Structures are given as structure tokens and as C-alpha cells.
Structure 1
């Protein structure tokens, strides 16, 4: 029983933290993609107005 708890402590916590960070990074990348797309559209509108 002690060995199982030790294994969960050694491997479970890093796995949970890794999954959490991957989900956060994915969300941030989606936001950055939307922002870059918006900037591209704004640049196109600006250059066409000239």
C-alpha cells in the first residue's frame, strides 16, 4: 500500500501538473492566434485605405 501511495506521489503529481500546463498553453495559443488574425485583418484594411 505504501509503495502505491509513493508511486502516485512520484508520478501522479507531475502528470497532473503537465496536463494542467498543456491545457493552459493551448488556451493561450488560441488567444494569440485570434489576436494575430485580427492584426492581419487590421493591417489589410489599413493598407487598402491608403
Structure 2
């Protein structure tokens, strides 16, 4: 993380926003992947 501080100070706000959004998207994508992996089991329970 210490390596990012000089880069952020040079480039500024867009880098911070991009990193934050990438982190948020990653957590949501993990939830989507988990839901897709659980889908066959849920389908079997319904039938």
C-alpha cells in the first residue's frame, strides 16, 4: 500500500475512485459467482 501513496499523490482523485470501484465490483462479482455455483443445487431442491 505504501507504493500507491506517491502514485495517488501524483495522479489524484481518479486513481482513488478507480481502486475503490474495482474493490466494490470484485466483492459483488464474488457474490454472483457463488450464486451461480449454488444454482444447480437449488434447482434440484425445487424438483
Considering the TM-score relative to the shorter chain, is it more than 0.5? Answer: yes
What's the TM-score once normalised by structure 1's chain length?
0.60
**Structure 1 or 2: more helix by fraction:** 1
TM-score (norm: length of structure 2): 0.62
Unpaired segments ≥5 residues, structure 2: 1-6
Structure with higher Rg: it is 1
Q: CA RMSD in A?
A: 2.2
Tell me which of the two structures has the higher relative contact order, counting C-alpha pairs closer than 8 angstroms and 6 or more residues apart.
2
Residues paired across the two proteins, number? 41
Runs of 4 or more, structure 1, over 6 Å off, are none
